[in-house]
Amino acid sequence: GRAFADTQTPYWRIGKKHLAKIAPVNSGVAGHASESAGICYRFVTDADEITLRWSLSSPKLGFPHMAATGVSGLDIYEWTKEKGWRFVNWRFVTPRNYPEKQAGNVYTVKWTPGRPCWIYLPLYNGLSDFAVGVAKGKKIEPLSARASGVTKPVVFYGSSITHGACASRP
């Protein structure tokens, strides 16, 4: 989900050197370059639980008009033959599925072994650390290229609604 591979951290959408080449860049684009919206991890695992751990680059977890789940939380999707990609929002093992602090957020979700997983990173916060864990002896493998044959996603810039803010997910 990143436009460039050589950013300051793996969780920045656009690096500073790329911002300098994109002219003119408004303050909105520059201000959101270090946020992780649109960056995702796609994999399959044989585990029956997935544990996610992440630390945020900004202590501002939410906005007055948007909860911490959207600003600083993670979105998890699973693939089912019946429904395609489906948001997972009801099988959390840990009591809360949203960030409560800047560093050391952890939650665990029950998983159907062999079912593909897609995790989107926070919309309006950046990450300083991110990890996916499974039980010892279990495996995580990247998903193969998208079935459409498209190896790179389409990248576009739009308003906060396009971004996923206060509406749904990107």
The Cα–Cα gap between 162 and 112 comes to 31
Instruction: Outline where DSSP puts E strands in the chain.
Output: 40-45, 49-56, 75-80, 84-87, 105-110, 117-120, 127-133, 140-142
Q: How confident is the model at residue 34 (pLDDT cuts 50, 70, 90)?
A: confident
- Check residue 46 and give its pLDDT: 98
User: Tens of pLDDT along 110-167?
Assistant: 999 999 999 989 988 999 999 999 999 999 999 987 666 666 666 666 666 666 666 5
Confidence of residue 12 (pLDDT cuts 50, 70, 90): confident
The CB-side HSE value for 78 (13 A sphere, CA atoms) comes to 18
How is residue 159 written in tokens? 């308003």
pLDDT score for 169: 54
Q: Could you report the per-residue pLDDT of 60-88, keeping only the tens digit for each?
A: 998 888 888 888 988 899 999 999 989 88
Q: Choose between 34 and 27: higher pLDDT.
A: 34
The whole-angstrom separation of Cα 8 and Cα 15 is 6
Question: Which of 8-12, 13-17, 138-142, 153-157 bottoms out in mean pLDDT, i.e. has the lowest?
Answer: 153-157
Global pTM reads 0.83
